[in-house]
Structure 1
Amino acid sequence: MILLVDDRPENILPLKKILELHRFAVDTAGSGEEALRKVLNTTYSVIILDVQMPGMDGFEVANAIAGFSKAKDTSIIFLSAVNTEKRFITKGYTAGAIDYLTKPVDPDILVLKVKTLEKLYEQQQELRATQDSLRKEIEVRKQAQDALTERMQELQRVLSSLPQMAFTIASNGQLEYVNEHWYRYAPDSRNFPSIHPEDDICASWAAALASGTEFTQEVRLNELASGDFRYHLLRITPIKQQEVVNRWIGTFTDIHAQKKTAELLEQQVELRTNELLLKNTELERTNHELQQFTWVVSHDLKEPIRKIQLLNDTIKEKFLKDNPEAVSYLDRSIRSSARMSALINDLLAYSQLSVPEDFQLTDLNALLGELLLDFDDTITRTGAVITIDKLPPVDTIPTRIRQVFQNLISNALKFARVDEPPVVRIYGELIATKAIDGLPSPAGPFCRIVVQDNGIGFDEKFLSRIFIIFQRLHNRTSYEGTGIGLAIAKKNIDKHHGLISARSCLNEGASFILVLPVSQASRLRESDPS
């Protein structure tokens, strides 16, 4: 902005118009005092100042402006029609003016001078801004350098206090600092410790240095005092500033004791593994012998029981028809023989559950349809109603899963309420997780199957007992059975890597719940991701 100072408005007006025509912003003052007030509040690039004014003349105003720091870059041009002598011109320059023009002044010359001084003012402002920016940059750099020096000193203090070998490497890969532990393995701070030939790190460290990535490797270092190679873990981490590596911090951690312990442990594990393999072979042989023994024993036990039953039936029919008391005793003996035979059969079935068998995709509806044929007589005799909803195909061992459903349906028909036909419903759905209460999912990896009846039920406080072999909740005189059926069911479900549980209340029926993997192959993949 340009400031025109003259006590005569007729002098100010033409100059103002000329300057405004050349796109200058122009301000005016009618006296020296007014000019000083304006200079205090506004920054001007050029002041065109009349010399002859009442009150403060132009020289006094110029001397006063020279003392204002705000106007130190402002150029002053004197205009005078009276004081044109050399001594006045000299006084004007001495007062701080850039130029001294006498009236009448050539407008074009004045405009050119103002343009030049305006441009000079702008350049001075740009230069001053650049200088301020440089000063700030220098100050920031100085502070950063001081902070970096302080951090380096702190880092060196920390590295000196470590119980490890610690060092720093410059960005060019040269050692910069090492702590006291370094000298146990290296004679000086310019070279790395001697590394075992089999643990050469040159190529891998060069690659990490070039890529700016962390470097880690186990190495064996030669201890100077003993001459022995000791295991260390070398870790070198890049320190980056604005994504540029400016140094590296490294440590050698002594892991010799841990390494030796691990080697000893591996030897012991290998030894123990071999022992276990031998034991496992022995157990397999013993198990095979036990299965053979079970078959032989069961056959030898079942044969005399069949003869006892046959002889008792023969005696009853031929010789004791007319002796009710003897018939009663024989019937009890026959029933006991039958229970013993059933018990032998169940024990034999239970012992065979450890024999490995293959899984195959099974149509459960077809399997249950065939199984119900075995219960035709019981269903007809009791008036039972059994409904089977559509079940999804599942990977099973068919003979084993048939045993499970056979025991559950048999129990549902056996433990019916008096004078009320049994009602059994079998239904299922896919679920998301292996859980009895898992949420339904159309593509779930597990299948939940429920066998529900309307029988006498049981108190759920006995839930933990019902799947244990020989555990019975009812006496033998009321309900037949050996107490092995649900134990067989649980062992079969365990063999399928599934779950079995039950929900029940006394006299309100029972629901037996099975959870099975739909696919045994996917179950194996989940349990062993490798």
Structure 2
Amino acid sequence: MILIVDDRQENILPLKKILELHRFSVDTAESGEEALKKILKTDYAVIILDVQMPGMDGFEVANAISGFSKSRDTSIIFLSAVNTEKKFITQGYTSGGIDYLTKPVDPDILVLKVKILHRLYDQQQELRATQDSLRKEVDIRKRAQEELAARFQELQTVLSSLPQMAFAVAPDGQIEYVNQHWFRYASSAKSFPETHEQDRLYDGWTTIFTQEDDFTREVRLKDLVTGEYRYHLLRILPIRQQDVLIRWIGTFTDIHSQKQAAELLEQQVKVRTNELQLKNIELERTNHELQQFTWVVSHDLKEPLRKIQLLNDTIKEKYLKGNDEAVSYLDRSIRSSARMSSLINDLLAYSRLSNPESFEQTDLNGMLGELLLDFDEAISRTRATIVIDKLPIIETMPSRMRQIFQNLISNALKFSKQNVPPVIRISADLIESKDIEAAPVSDGAYCRIMVQDNGIGFDEKFLDRIFVIFQRLHSRTSYEGTGIGLAIAKKNIDKHQGLIWAQSRVDEGTRFILVLPVQQASQLVVNETV
């Protein structure tokens, strides 16, 4: 903005019009006092100041303006129609004027001078703004450096208090700081510790710093006192400020004791593993011998039992006709022998569970169709109804799966209500997880099979007993059996990596639930103890 100061309005108006035609913003004042008031409030690029004015003349106004810091970049052009002598011109320049023009003024010359001075003012303002910005930037950088130095001092204090070897490295790879523990492994603060030749750590030191990433590895350092190499864990972290890497901080943590303990533990594990392998071989041999012993004992026990049963039948038929009391005692002996024979057969079946067998795709519907032929007499005698839904084809060990269904169907027929024909239903669905309560899905990885009957049921508080060998919930006089069937089923389900569970209430029937994988992860079950 341009300020024109003159006590005569007829002098102000022409100058104002000329400058406004050249797109300058123009302000006016008709006295020195009014000009000083406006200068205190507004920044002016150029002041055109008349010399002769009542009150304060132009020289006095210029001297007053020179004391204002606000107007230090403002240029003053003096105008005078009377004071054209050299002494007045000199006084104008000494008062702070940039130029001294006499009236009448050439408008073109005046406009050119104003343009130049206005441009100079703008450049001075830009330069001053740049200087202020640079000054602020310098102050900010200075404060940041001071803060960084203070933080680095704090960091050095922390590193010096660590029990590990600690160091700081500049971005160019030069060591900036090391703590006292450093000198146990390094000869100076500017050299790295000596490492074992197999570690070759410092061959790739430059590569570590160019990656600008965390670095961790185990390394052996040479102890300068003892000469031995000790294991250390090296950890190097980049420190950044405003995404600019300023240094690396690293530590060497002594892990020699832990390393030795780990190596000792590894050796002990290896020894124990060898021992377990030997024990496993011995156990397999013992198991095989036990199986052979079971076969021999069962054969030897069966033979005298058969003779006892044969002799009892012979005595009953030939010598005890008409002696009802003796026949009663002999019948009890025959039944005991039969139970003993059944027990031996079940024990023999249980012992066979340790034999290896391969998995194969099994059609459960076909298996159950063949199995029901073995129950023709019992089904006819009890007038039982057996309903088998469509079952999926899954991977099983067929003979073991047959044992499971045989025991479950046998129990359902055996533990039926008096004078109530048994109803047995076998159904299945696919589920997504190995869980009794899992939701059914069309492509589940597990198959849930349910065997439901309408028999006498049992109290669920005995659930933890029914799958244990020789455990019975009913007396032998009420229901025959050895208490091994469900234990065999449970063992076979375990071989299939599956689950078996039961749900029941007294006089409301029982539901057995089996959960089996559709595809087995292992194709062969190895020998194991029963």
Scaled by the length of structure 2, what TM-score is found? Answer: 0.90
Q: Cα deviation per residue 1:146-180 (whole Å; 9 max; x = unaligned)?
A: 12222222222222222222222333323332222
Corresponding residue of 1:348: 348
Deviation at 1:10, TM superposition (A): 4.0
Q: Is 1:421 the equivalent of 2:421?
A: yes
- For structure 2, the 5+ residue unaligned runs are 525-530
Equivalent residue, structure 2, for 1:489: 489
* 1:508 paired to 2:513: no
2:430 aligned residue: 430
How is 1:53-132 mapped onto 2 (pairs within 5 angstroms)?
53-132=53-132
What's the counterpart of residue 144 of structure 2? 144
Whole-Å Cα distance in 1 between the matches of residues 518 and 74 of structure 2? 91
Greater mean alpha carbon deviation, residues 143-152 or residues 288-297: 143-152
**Amino acid paired to 1:123:** Q
Residues 112-161 of structure 1 deviation map (CA, whole Å, 9 limit, x = unaligned)? 22221221122111111111111111112212221222222222222222
Distance 1:23 1:309 in 2: 136
Distance 1:28 1:339, change over 3 A: farther
Match of 1:199 in 2: 199
Q: Distance in 1 between matches of 2:302 and 2:104?
A: 147
- For the residues of structure 1 that align with 2:441 and 2:39, how far apart are their CA atoms? 83
Larger displacement relative to structure 2 (255-264 or 314-323): 314-323
Deviation of 1:238 after TM superposition, in Å, equals 3.0
| 1:211-249 alpha-carbon deviations (Å, 9 max, x no partner) | 233333333333222233323233333333454443322
Give me the CA root mean square deviation: 2.7
Q: Does 1:452 align with 2:460?
A: no
Further displaced range: 341-350 or 311-320: 311-320
Name the SS for the 2:3 alignment partner. Answer: strand
Residue identity matched to 1:246: I
Which of structures 1 and 2 has the larger relative contact order (alpha carbons within 8 angstroms, sep 6+)?
A: 2
For 2:54 and 2:428, the matched residues in 1 are separated by 113
Higher alpha-carbon deviation: 348-357 or 255-264: 255-264
Whether contact under 8 Å (1:205, 1:215) holds in the other structure is no
| Aligned-residue offset at 1:411 | 1.9
Q: Which residue of 2 aligns with 1:466?
A: 466
- Read off the aligned partner of 1:132 and give its amino acid letter: D
1:292 Cα deviation (Å)? Answer: 0.7
Count of matched residue positions in the alignment of Structure 1 and Structure 2? 524
Code of the aligned partner of 1:328: S
Equivalence for 1:499:
499
- Tell me the SS of whatever aligns to 1:465: helix
Deviates more, 1:133-142 or 1:258-267: 258-267
The aligned amino acid for 1:477 is T
Distance 1:392 1:118, change over 3 A: farther
| Equivalent position SS for 1:198 | coil
Deviation, 1:346, is 1.4
Aligned residue for 2:230?
230
Q: Is there any run of 5+ residues in structure 1 with no aligned partner, and where?
A: 525-530
Q: Match for residue 212 of structure 2?
A: 212
Question: Bigger shift: 365-374 or 479-488?
Answer: 365-374
Distance 2:474 2:256 in 1: 66
Deviation at residue 318 of structure 1 after TM alignment: 5.0
Of residues 1-10 and 487-496 in structure 1, the stretch that sits farther from structure 2 once superposed is 1-10
Give the deviation of 1:430 after TM superposition: 2.6
User: Once the two structures are aligned, what percentage of the paired residues are identical?
Assistant: 74
Letter in 2 for 1:193: P
CA distance in 2, matches of 1:507, 1:180: 83
| 1:396 CA displacement | 1.4
Relative to structure 1, is the Cα distance of residues 264 and 48 closer, same or farther in structure 2, using a 3 angstrom cutoff?
A: same
Q: Tell me: CA distance 1:126–1:487, structure 2 relative to 1, closer, same or farther (3 Å).
A: same
SS at 2:227 equivalent:
coil
| Cα separation, partners in 2 of 1:139 and 1:451, compared to 1, 3 Å | same
**Aligned equivalent of 2:527:** none
How far did residue 387 of structure 1 move?
Answer: 2.6
Once the two structures are TM-superposed, the CA of residue 314 in structure 1 deviates from its matched residue by 4.2
Q: Within 5 Å, which residues of 2 pair with 1:168-187?
A: 168-187=168-187
**Number of the residue aligned with 2:528:** none
The 1-side partners of 2:431 and 2:70 are apart by 83
1:360 Cα deviation (Å)? 1.7
Distance 1:460 1:135, change over 3 A: same
Partner of 1:521: 521
Q: Structure 1 residue 284: deviation in Å?
A: 0.7
Determine the C-alpha separation between the residues in 2 that align with 1:430 and 1:11: 107
